Amino acid sequence: MRPIPIDFHIGPLVLHTYGFGLGITFWFAYWYLSRRFHRYGLSTTWLEKSFIWIIVMAVVGARAVHCIANISYYIAHPILVFAVWQGGLSSYGGIAGGLIVALWALHKYNPEISFRTAADVTAPVLLAAWAMGRLLGPQLMYAGGGHPTTAWYGMKYAGEVGYRIPVPIFQSLETIVTYLIVLQLARLYPTWKMPALSVAVSAYGIWSIGRFFDEYLWLAVPRVWDAVEVFALISLGASIIVMFILFRRRGRDAAIVIAPEPLAAADTHG
């Protein structure tokens, strides 16, 4: 199977398939997030006024963390810091960069919406968008595969020799499973009396488990203790601690941490 073209030309203009796919993913995230907020009766003013900046800062954060994690390479090749069309965007850095702007916008334009409620409504959207982004981003980029393989599912990627493990496809599938789990958690809010923020924290923790094994099984060189693996374990541990605190405090300040009633509604179309 020949590699998917990583770019195409319209006259002198070069369009990178990787960036085009991510653009579609960003549009989907905006549409789906607006839909969920409206479904729960929440304003989207903060999103409408800040979405472009959220995307910009997510890309900046994702690239910055990737370059820091591979600092020796980029010191030797500083011009490649800007070559985002070749891949190299850290998921954790993207979350951090986008979250900073999202928190600022939420506080400025919709202070009546608590961060905990917004995070729980947003969590399934981030998972769905990440699953789509794997297929329309890294799957279409330069050197997008994992370790070499002779298995039947191996694929060829531009810039790599031989067949490679199609990691973006595997990541998309595992994230879809996480997405379905998180949707079910959101539906069980009233039954389990889950505190607000617990859906988002659960989503982050489960997703981090997948990120660890993505690196360990298919990507990391050396196989153990690369930067993503370490951060994934730290994130998982932090998620467990925060979840413990949320449930421990639930009885003392239930009026604050119990999710508002709209969040208990079934997301039948999500």
**The predicted structure's pLDDT at residue 65:** 87
pLDDT the model gives residue 2: 54
d(CA 160, CA 164): 8
Domain boundaries along the sequence of the chain: 117-270
Spatial contact of 172 and 128, defined as CB atoms under 8 Å apart:
no
What per-residue confidence (pLDDT) applies to 253? 44
Give the pLDDT confidence score for residue 165 in this predicted structure. Answer: 95
Separation of alpha carbons 135 and 244, rounded Å: 34
**Rounded distance between C-alpha atoms, residue 58 and residue 60, angstroms:** 5
- Could you tell me which residues are beta bridge partners of residue 14? 9
Whole-number pLDDT of residue 185: 85
pLDDT of 134: 92
Supply the pLDDT for residue 260. 42
Find the helix packing angle between 167-187 and 198-214, rounded to 10°.
160
* pTM assigned to the model: 0.85
Give the mean pLDDT per block of 10 residues along the chain (270 residues).
66 77 93 94 95 93 87 87 76 90 96 93 95 89 88 90 93 96 82 82 95 92 82 95 88 42 43
From the CB of residue 21, how many other CB atoms can be counted at a distance below 10 Å? 20
How far is Cα 48 from Cα 198, in angstroms, rounded to an integer? 26
Question: Contact 58/37 with Cβ under 8 angstroms?
Answer: no
CB atoms within 10 A of CB 18: 23
* The three-state (H, E, C) secondary structure of 142-207, written as one string: CCCCCCECCCCCCECCCCCCCCECCHHHHHHHHHHHHHHHHHHHHHCHHHHCCECCHHHHHHHHHH
Per-residue model confidence (pLDDT) at position 258:
37
